[in-house]
Structure 1
Amino acid sequence: MNLLDFFDLKCFLSVAKHLNLSLAAKEMFISQPAMSSRINSIEEDFGVKLLNRTRHKVELTPAGESARKDFQHILEYYEKTKFEAKRISEHGEYHLTIGYHGPTEWANINKLVKEFHSKHPNIKIDLTVSTWGELTRDLINGWLDVIFSEESEVAGIPVLNSVFLFRDYAAVAVPKSSSLSELESIKPEELNYVNIIMSNNKKATRSLKHINERLSDAGIDMEKATLVDHYDTTIAMAAAGMGVATIPRSFKIKGHQSVNYVDIDSDKVYEDFVLAWNVNNETASVLLFKEFCEQHKWGDY
């Protein structure tokens, strides 16, 4: 029985990628005979053919394709384990990275974090602001400990768990020069008489697509909406008087210089916000923050 190492696995994956021993050898900085020797050792250890090799081509056998997938998973898990070991060595259980999307004042998050830190001053906290899609990716990869997210972004992902925090209804950002800015609320059908600015469905996250569908269900003609690539652009266009931008109410910014906010009077348009974490990363800090968020009074949105 041969004792395989990670370099052997990387060599095999290089051959599987290039289907060429010479190119794989160059990529791994070894000679072609050395590459052939390592592949032979792997096949000898497995007792099966993983590659069909001729002078002109290299092909993966069915067993080789299966091994390729497993070797890739092994290396990915190794890198994740190494990253986690380094993180724990540097920060231990007393470190928490929190991700969220939206304005810096979103849902009074600064006050929330300050209150949590006052109760647990030994936990170092880092905040990251990004898109919901990127936050979900980083949570899956173990680069974040917890994220605040719209429920549809994390639902159905096996390695993620979440707890419900609050239901967030919709509003529109309107230019202060508009007569609509004097209203406290507006019926959905009344928005059919103004230009609605939305994030482009083709580039938006699942949650933004979700709220677009709910706006349509509430009676708003979304086919006439102006679609742009980014959420920030919708607010900028509204401020410039080019229409009204739909937003979750928790995204309201107090004292905004250029826009006012008018609530959409409909219980059909909402987003459910959750706290999500990776089931493989249930550290003491994560569990303490989860419990704190469950007990926190989030208010009405």
Structure 2
Amino acid sequence: MELCTLRSFIAVAKLKSFSAAARELHIVQPAISRQIASLEEELGVSLFWRNTREVKITAAGEVLLVEAHAMIALEGRAKEYTQRAARGQAGNLRIGYISSACSGFIPTLVRAYAQRYPHVAISLQDLTVEQQLDAFDKEVLT
């Protein structure tokens, strides 16, 4: 089941027309018909009842419509989270610090960062200079 096909399915269900769905998606109507036919074959069910005048979604189509919306939303979230991570706005930030040297500014700095980037999990580790150098060598803070 491809997301492109699900978008076509959603458009047909919403507009109750293969032609209108094709116009909305900027593709030709035969391509929409092929996608829906392929989806129906893959699932082994009829998703629409159609004749020359109207298109109606079937009970099986109604079930798929709910799931298709969820899958499209999941794709959007995946893109958003991935882009956030690439910008450093999501993921994990591990900070090794020397408490005696940083205790005056670390809490304020971390709080400001957490407010600006709420999707980043921050962990602090009080490390000696030797432990920090070792962590850099290993490229991992433990």
TM-score in terms of structure 1 length: 0.34
Q: Give the direction of change, closer, same or farther, for the CA distance of 1:117–1:88 in structure 2 (3 Å limit).
A: farther
- Unpaired runs of at least 5, structure 1: 95-113, 128-143, 146-280, 289-301
Deviation at 1:124, TM superposition (A): 3.1
Deviation at 1:82, TM superposition (A): 1.1
Counterpart-to-counterpart distance in 2, 1:117 and 1:8: 49
Deviation at 1:116, TM superposition (A): 2.9
What amino acid is the match of 2:113?
Answer: K
- Unpaired runs of at least 5, structure 2: 94-104, 125-142
Counterpart-to-counterpart distance in 2, 1:37 and 1:64: 16
Q: Does 1:39 align with 2:13?
A: no
Counterpart-to-counterpart distance in 1, 2:108 and 2:2: 44
| Equivalent residue in structure 1 for 2:121, among 256, 259, 284 | 284
Structure with higher strand content: 1
Deviation at 1:15, TM superposition (A): 0.3
- Secondary structure in structure 2 of the residue aligned to 1:52: strand
- Secondary structure in structure 1 of the residue aligned to 2:56: strand
Cross-structure match for 1:124: 113
- Secondary structure in structure 2 of the residue aligned to 1:30: coil
Which stretches of structure 1, 4 residues or more, deviate above 2 A after TM superposition?
114-118, 123-127
Counterpart-to-counterpart distance in 1, 2:87 and 2:108: 19
Q: Deviations over 1:49-93 (max 9, x none)?
A: 111011111011010000001000001011111101111111142
Cross-structure match for 2:11: 14
Counterpart-to-counterpart distance in 2, 1:81 and 1:116: 31
Counterpart-to-counterpart distance in 2, 1:7 and 1:17: 15
What amino acid is the match of 2:108?
Answer: H
What amino acid is the match of 2:27?
Answer: I
Alignment of 1:64-213 (within 5 A): 64-91=61-88, 92-94=91-93, 116-118=107-109, 120=110, 124-127=113-116, 145=118
- Secondary structure in structure 2 of the residue aligned to 1:93: strand
Deviation at 1:6, TM superposition (A): 1.2
Cross-structure match for 1:24: 21
Cross-structure match for 1:57: 54
Query: Identity of aligned pairs, percent?
Result: 29
Counterpart-to-counterpart distance in 1, 2:62 and 2:113: 44
Deviation at 1:126, TM superposition (A): 4.6
Q: Deviations over 1:205-244 (max 9, x none)?
A: xxxxxxxxxxxxxxxxxxxxxxxxxxxxxxxxxxxxxxxx
Counterpart-to-counterpart distance in 2, 1:284 and 1:28: 39
TM-score in terms of structure 2 length: 0.68
Which structure ranks higher in relative contact order (CA pairs < 8 Å, sequence separation ≥ 6)? Answer: 1
What amino acid is the match of 1:116?
Answer: P
